[in-house]
């Protein structure tokens, strides 16, 4: 299992991932960090927890919208979104354990 140090909202986290998934994890972290920056610019000086809740809700809303707009023949896309969401939850659990 590989270990990757990512940086989100000014904080560093060491996260475990499968070997070979390091670049993917870094890309996901960069996207989360980009979104965190956008929320911080929009919402101003909100606390860390509130900003992360806003970020999670924003991303969940995007996933929900994609799922709602998925056509029946796009079932594989919906299943992929579910796998991605599950993987994100696993990564988040690893971050919590490493804190």
Average pLDDT over residues 62-90: 77
pLDDT over 80 at 90, yes or no: no
Q: Using 50, 70 and 90 to split pLDDT, how confident is the model at 2?
A: very high
CA distance readout (Å), 14 to 48, 61, 81, 91: 18, 27, 24, 10
What pLDDT, on the 0 to 100 scale, is given for residue 98? 56
Domain containing 19: what range?
2-98
pLDDT tens for each residue of 40-58? 888 877 788 888 888 889 8
Q: Using 50, 70 and 90 to split pLDDT, how confident is the model at 96?
A: low
Q: Using 50, 70 and 90 to split pLDDT, how confident is the model at 84?
A: confident
Average pLDDT over residues 81-91: 80
Say how many domains are in the chain: 1
pTM of the model: 0.66
User: Using CA atoms, how far apart are residues 40 and 32, in angstroms rounded to an integer?
Assistant: 12
Element (H, E) at 36: helix 22-43
């Amino acid at each position: 299992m590989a270990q990757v140090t990512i940086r989100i909202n000014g904080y560093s986290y060491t996260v475990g991932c499968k070997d070979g998934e390091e670049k993917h994890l870094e890309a996901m972290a960069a996207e989360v960090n980009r979104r965190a920056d956008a929320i911080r610019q929009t919402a101003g000086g909100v606390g860390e927890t509130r900003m992360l809740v806003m970020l999670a809700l924003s991303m969940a809303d995007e996933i929900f919208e994609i799922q709602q707009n998925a056509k029946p023949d796009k079932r594989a896309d919906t299943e992929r979104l579910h796998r991605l969401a599950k993987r994100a939850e696993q990564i988040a659990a690893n971050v919590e354990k490493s804190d």
